[in-house]
Structure 1
């Protein structure tokens, strides 16, 4: 396919990043500006730069903006400022004092927290506090840092990012990958095509990053919803997503088991029509589970579809006289159906009871 300059320099990725970051940018602008105004005009500090930098650094543009994460970053920066101000009182300021300050700050930060980001945040603020001119009153910059950190946490609660939208976007990406992997495995089983089956297994193994992104945005959203008065109405929706995510994590793992079984069984290049058709039905039901994230009315439809599959998942009855390998393939679909039933809201015990005993 020819590649033109318009393709190479497409503005769409940049516009997508801007669209996804505007709330985070607004948070940073409000927090940093507010911290500067409080430090400059309310407290009379001549250069409250640290108040603004703490706000900017603690919020950031990262997807994980849960209040605890913001608070931990703030504590790290305040640790660096405190140590820098204390050491400046004892040894003064200069190049070798900067080296000592950075060494002490990073060692103390590593002792206090296992997070490397905590130590780096502390070191950055310690360096800024040490390099800036001496403040008229000791520990003034620590107060600026406290102001910036408090405003960062307050803005996280009062001007929250849209956690439900971010989690929903990541959930859709995961289900799209799940559907693609299942479709390849279905084709491999129906045609006895080992290459298609291997590609489906590869796609199933590659679902972990999408699931991790969904989990990160969902946990961030739940954390924000617990403290934000504007997002309490979204907690039920986010809790339902958390239940679906947990079940789909298990379903993803079982899809890999199914994929490995298909790759093994179709080694003889013979089509496995019955298991392929059953897996296709399961994949369609999984699509309904994904659709239920946007429309909860799809949830009972997905549950009934899965129950219809579960009630006849008896390998001996569906594949009389077939090889043990093919019956084992059909048996490997049973845990996958149970996980998807749990994703629709069915209790695990009831989901397991829906499968015939063998």
Structure 2
């Protein structure tokens, strides 16, 4: 059986089409913002070719997952300062080879001082080089600096007034995480049921491979929450997004615990003895987790997921699940307890309530 990381998610053309479709909201935002930057600099300020208004705007927004206003602001400031620094050098020292050297070096250091992201420093330096290379515009020495600040300001306004739809992207990311997590549950249960060490290894690989998907989901949700706080169009969805942030945190903890369970299962099944009771327990948690994932698109599934998790919590006593098992096998039931607690809290069950359902281990 191939490891999870060896399985292509989708074929090439299908992946390309999906990428293009998912990029539509970001492309629309970038197109509107760039056009608005140009229109303001050209028609209101009278700048004939406001190139930097467009480039700074596009670079500030970025074609990236993280569209938080704070990141946009930091990037816009870094780019605009790079443009202004080049303008100062141009006024003081003129145009030439050594001026390019000084501008690139100084802009890189200043951008890194203002923003820790290396891509921002490189983008700011590119804007600085453009200022030194293109001819002085009709608007005067500082027209390009003004265009840069216009582009940054429009990018920030676009974040609030022309927001991307973060909920759709967050749901897509969540679907991928829950699909991978369900495979991890299913394969761990199958390994315990059939005493197949190879299947347990596959389950562990699948759970490990969820980390980049989980990082994407976390970034998307954090970005969505930040945008909803400043956007009048998305503010009504803030509570929903905060609930999804709580879900991300719980699922993250559950995945970490499931890796431990998969490792324990991999070691446990080496004796060749099937353990159907443990398999049933892991499968039950997987089914409740699948319901929790469905609740993002079908809110009615949330309450059944909560009830299932609480019912499972009441059974999590090794003496009930595997009364005649060894201590090593009994530990699987103990390890399932934090998974159920984290998922129940992620589903909105108060922590004290779900912990009160757990049998005492004495």
Q: TM-score, normalised by structure 2?
A: 0.93
- Give 2:224's aligned residue: 221
User: Which structure 1 segments of 5+ residues have no match?
Assistant: 1-7
Instruction: State which of 276, 283, 286 in structure 2 corresponds to 1:280.
Output: 283
2:141 is the alignment partner of 1:151 = no
What SS does the aligned partner of 2:245 have? helix
Which of 55, 58, 63 is residue 57 of structure 2 equivalent to? Answer: 55
Counterpart of 2:3?
Answer: none
C-alpha deviation, 1:295, in angstroms: 1.7
How far apart are the structure 1 equivalents of 2:21 and 2:253?
33
For residues 113 and 190 of structure 1, what CA distance do their matches in structure 2 show?
52
Among candidates 34, 41, 65, match of residue 39 of structure 1:
41
Q: Distance in 2 between matches of 1:227 and 1:112?
A: 23
1:262 corresponding residue in structure 2? 265
Q: Distance in 1 between matches of 2:74 and 2:97?
A: 29
| Distance in 2, Cα, partners of 1:179 & 1:186 | 11
Please report the RMSD computed on the Cα atoms of aligned residues, expressed in angstroms.
1.6
- What residue in structure 1 maps to residue 343 of structure 2? 340
* Contact 2:228 2:234 (C-alpha < 8 Å) held by counterparts: yes
CA deviations over 1:134-184 (Å, ceiling 9, x no partner): 245222111111111111111121111110000011001000000001111
Q: CA deviation at 1:10?
A: 6.7
SS in 1 for 2:233: coil
Secondary structure of the residue aligned to 1:311 is helix
Pair 101,318 (structure 1): closer, same or farther in 2 beyond 3 Å: closer
Deviations 1:113-152 (CA, angstroms, capped at 9, x unpaired) = 3221221122011001111112452221111111111111
Aligned counterpart for 1:193 among listed residues 180, 192, 196: 196
1:312 and 1:25 mapped to 2: Cα distance? 50
Distance 1:54 1:129 in 2: 12
Give the conservation status (yes or no) of the 8 Å contact 2:74–2:115: no
Instruction: Name 1:91's counterpart in structure 2.
Output: 93
Distance 1:16 1:213 in 2: 16
Match of 1:67 among 66, 69, 73: 69
Shift of 1:324: 1.1
Q: Residues 325 and 156 (structure 1 numbering): CA distance in 2 closer, same or farther, change over 3 Å?
A: same
Which residue number in structure 1 is paired with residue 79 of structure 2? 77
The partner residue of 2:182 within 179, 184, 191 is: 179
Q: Where do 1:287-298 residues align within 5 Å?
A: 287-298=290-301
Tell me whether 1:21 sits opposite 2:23 in the alignment.
yes
- What residue in structure 2 maps to residue 231 of structure 1? 234
Question: Secondary structure of 2:23's partner?
Answer: helix
Alignment of 1:307-322 (within 5 A): 307-322=310-325
